A and B are shown apart, each in its own frame.
Chain A
Amino acid sequence: MADTILRVNGIHKSFDGTGVLRGVSLEIREGEVVVIVGPSGCGKSTLLRCINGLETIDKGEIYLRDEKISGRTKDLHLVRQKIGMVFQSYDLFPHMKVMDNLLLGPTKALGKQKQEMEREALSMLERVGLKEKAHVFPRTLSGGQKQRVALVRAMLMHPEILLLDEITAALDPEMVSEVLNVVIDLARGGMTMAIVTHEMRFAEAVADRVLFLEEGVVLEEGTPEKFFHAPTTERARRFLQSFTYASKRDKAEVQPKNNLED
Chain B
Amino acid sequence: MQDLGISILFKGINFQRLMGGLWVTLRLALITIGLSCLFGLLFGVLMLSKKRVAKVFCRVWLEIVRFMPQLVLLYLVYFGFARLFGWDLDGETSAVMVFTFWGTAEMGDLIRGALTSIPLHQTESAAALGLKKGQVYLYVLIPQTLRRYVLIPQTLRRLLPQAINLSTRIIKTTALVKMINVTEVLKVGQQIIGQFYRQPDAAFWVYFVIFLLYFLVCWPFSLLAKQLEKRWA
Contacts and interface: CB of A to CB of B under 8 A. Distances in A.
**Do A and B assemble together?**
yes
Interface of A: 52, 54, 77-85, 87, 89, 91, 93-95, 104-105, 108-110, 150, 153-154, 157
Given A89-B119, A93-B122, A95-B144, 7 more contacts: A77-B133, A78-B130, A81-B129, A82-B130, A105-B129, A108-B131, A109-B129
B208 interface: no
In the A-B complex, list the 6 residue pairs whose CB atoms are closest, starting with the nearest. A81-B130, A91-B125, A105-B129, A109-B130, A80-B130, A85-B128
Interface of B: 119, 121-122, 124-133, 135, 139-140, 143-144, 147
Contacts of A89: 119, 121
B122 A109 contact: no
Nearest to A84: B128
Contacts of B119: 89
Nearest to B126: A93
A34 B165 CA distance: 56
A94 B148 CA distance: 11
Contacts, number: 64
A77 B131 contact: yes
Main secondary structure of the interface of B (DSSP, over half): helix
A77 B130 contact: yes
A52 B128 contact: yes
A30 to B, nearest CB: 20
A80 B128 contact: yes
A77 B127 contact: yes
A104 to B, nearest CB: 6
A167 B51 CA distance: 33
